[in-house]
Structure 1
Amino acid sequence: MENQENLKLGVCWILFSAFGFAVMGLCVRLAGNLPFVQKTLFRNLIAFFVAFSTLYMKAKKDKSVFYVPREAWKFLLLRLAVGSLGIFGNFYALGFMNISDAAMLNKMSPFFAVIASIFILGKKPNFVSAFSLIVVFTGSLFVIKPTFDFVKVFPALFAFVGGMGAGFASCFVRKLHSYNVCGDFIIVFFSLFSSLLAVPFVFFFHASMSLPQVLILLCAGLGAACGQFGMTNAYFNAPASKISIYDYSNIVFAGILGFVFLDQVPDIFSVAGYFIIIGTAILVFIYNSKNAAKRQSEN
């Protein structure tokens, strides 16, 4: 009974997370024509202070939350690099694409994680995982809509690279967990690093902002913080194998918010890409769930 309650709680938290990230995407777009790096600075600074306050409270009880083994530092630095690539790519795309399209390409990160796992975790994908990668890449082309007009396709390519960065980052996080590195420490270190990366650009190329723009970007940061907080609590209460599929509700939330506030309606090609990518994710989720249940019954 308790496991079922934890599962329900995990689903609720991941839906909360998905909505938080959708609000972040909407606010990034509503902030207007500001440099995307300047927008990321707000997101990362708020994430830093929220995560640091959590880490500080934990450190009062256990100082080991700051401990990182020497051999784990290289994975932490790589997580910072690819994670920053993921955020910058996503924020750039959000300024030019339908927010649901950008969210869809960012949600390809689990499939990129399969590729990353080969090199980082030494895990070889099975036939289902390998075939799903091909299908999902095909679906992404419907959303990207490759063309010789580089100006139109450039934001979609950034979103694609952003999803790739997020996928590789998740694998480095798993690797760091194997060294017992505290998750809150990873978030704090990453938020600080990506903020410092943005500071020189913002210092030299910043654009003046109105009060509404500042408030909107603060809301974007709060939305991202809620998304991160919800994600952490979701996977604390339930395993990823049982709830990760619900993270795709972010696409639904982004689509609704984009339609209501921005009059954005995905075209038929994007919708087809959504069905291919989300459909593949559902099938892989069902396949993995059945295999997990079969292994448990055998044990």
Structure 2
Amino acid sequence: MGNQKTKAVLLMLASALSFSVMQVFVKLSSAEVGTFEQTFFRNLISLLIAAGMVRREKRPVLREIRQGGWALWGRSFFGFLGIVLFFYATGHARQADVAMLNRSSPVFVTLFAGLFLKEKITPVKIASTVLCLLGAYIAMQPSFDSNPFPLLSALLAAVVAGMAYTMLAYCKNFVSPSVIIFHFSAFSTVCAAALMLPSFVVPSWKVFFMLLLIGVFAAGGQFLLTYAYQQAPASEVSIYQYSGVVFTAALSFLLLGESLSGSSIVGGLVILGAIFWVFEYHRREQAA
């Protein structure tokens, strides 16, 4: 596999791990503060880091935003909409059902990348994505007996996330990663602040520290993901997001004391097998 694609794989795996660590602190702080307050801190920290990066890199922010045009605004809008839909679904449906539907976002990334970016959708991409979905289903054991509207929200969250990541991949030709993240973080911070204010709670120092960690790991995951989509086609790297299922299960077991069932282990092995298959396929393809 070429150096760029290998780098993209490592970045995507690191991104999935960072987002999984973020989820631990989201769960630990959720008893005291609401989801929009968590979302606000998540995006505020990313905004501060991104602002520092664009300043250090001396980026012409306004010019790059104009170059990004509708795709950059679409990435920010659909990215934030996906967060809102996901949080709504999380609060009104079984977690396994929501998580399973949310994990379908790489399917939509592959589909939209083929339709709009003209990336080739190969049988290996289709088969490996199906295997990852199967692994996620086995690991999460969803019943889909929740209320239909929250489930529809979870599915729509995956669809709009797929649209956001496809636009992110398109933007790489016009906009630097730091400006993409700065724009998304600024847009999301303003929107989250408006939604947070009616139910704002002053957190304890312990939870405030957790909110900062949510922002730090979310920023890490967002930066790593953005750089990954800069290195390789969207339809090739999106499948590595499924590694988050494995990371989340392991961290929940190690840090939160949650049980690790046999189905979680089997599902994780199926996902890891599919990921290794895709990695080896592209490595041999490059070597041929």
Q: Quick check: TM above 0.5?
A: yes
Indicate the residue corresponding to 1:57 in structure 2.
56
| TM norm structure 2 | 0.77
Task: Please point out which of 246, 268, 277 is paired with 1:283.
Answer: 277
Task: Please point out which of 181, 193, 201 is paired with 1:199.
Answer: 193
Indicate the residue corresponding to 2:108 in structure 1.
112
| Amino-acid identity (%) | 32
Indicate the residue corresponding to 1:223 in structure 2.
217
The aligned length equals 287
Unaligned runs of 5+ in 1: 295-299
Superposed displacement of residue 138, structure 1? 3.7
Q: Provide the C-alpha distance between the structure 2 equivalents of 1:7 and 1:148, rounded to a whole number of angstroms.
A: 36
Indicate the residue corresponding to 1:258 in structure 2.
252
Q: Provide the C-alpha distance between the structure 2 equivalents of 1:89 and 1:99, rounded to a whole number of angstroms.
A: 14
Q: Which amino acid aligns with 1:261?
A: L
Contact 1:142 1:269 in 2 (8 A): yes
Task: Please point out which of 17, 20, 45 is paired with 2:18.
Answer: 20
Residues 1:170 and 2:165 are matched in the alignment: yes
| Match runs of 1:94-243 below 5 Å | 108-143=104-139, 145-147=141-143, 149-150=145-146, 161-178=156-173, 180-231=174-225
Task: Please point out which of 12, 32, 35 is paired with 2:30.
Answer: 32
Q: Which amino acid aligns with 1:27?
A: F
Q: Provide the C-alpha distance between the structure 2 equivalents of 1:9 and 1:128, rounded to a whole number of angstroms.
A: 20
Q: Which amino acid aligns with 1:126?
A: T
Q: Structure 1's 24 and 105: CA in aligned 2 closer, same or farther, altered over 3 A?
A: farther
Q: Provide the C-alpha distance between the structure 2 equivalents of 1:220 and 1:69, rounded to a whole number of angstroms.
A: 27
- Local SS of the residue matching 1:68: helix
Q: Structure 1's 71 and 253: CA in aligned 2 closer, same or farther, altered over 3 A?
A: closer
Q: Structure 1's 220 and 124: CA in aligned 2 closer, same or farther, altered over 3 A?
A: same
Decide which moves more: 69-78 or 26-35. 69-78
Q: Provide the C-alpha distance between the structure 2 equivalents of 1:217 and 1:109, rounded to a whole number of angstroms.
A: 26
Computed over aligned residues only, the root mean square deviation of the Cα atoms, in angstroms, reads 4.1
Q: Provide the C-alpha distance between the structure 2 equivalents of 1:206 and 1:234, rounded to a whole number of angstroms.
A: 35
Superposed displacement of residue 9, structure 1? 8.2
- Local SS of the residue matching 1:67: helix
Q: Provide the C-alpha distance between the structure 2 equivalents of 1:223 and 1:92, rounded to a whole number of angstroms.
A: 21
Unaligned runs of 5+ in 2: none
Q: Provide the C-alpha distance between the structure 2 equivalents of 1:20 and 1:85, rounded to a whole number of angstroms.
A: 21
Q: Provide the C-alpha distance between the structure 2 equivalents of 1:64 and 1:227, rounded to a whole number of angstroms.
A: 24
Superposed displacement of residue 170, structure 1? 2.2
Q: Structure 1's 134 and 20: CA in aligned 2 closer, same or farther, altered over 3 A?
A: closer
Q: Which amino acid aligns with 2:108?
A: F
Q: Which amino acid aligns with 1:79?
A: R
Decide which moves more: 164-173 or 113-122. 164-173
Q: Provide the C-alpha distance between the structure 2 equivalents of 1:239 and 1:77, rounded to a whole number of angstroms.
A: 21
| TM norm structure 1 | 0.75
Q: Structure 1's 144 and 258: CA in aligned 2 closer, same or farther, altered over 3 A?
A: closer
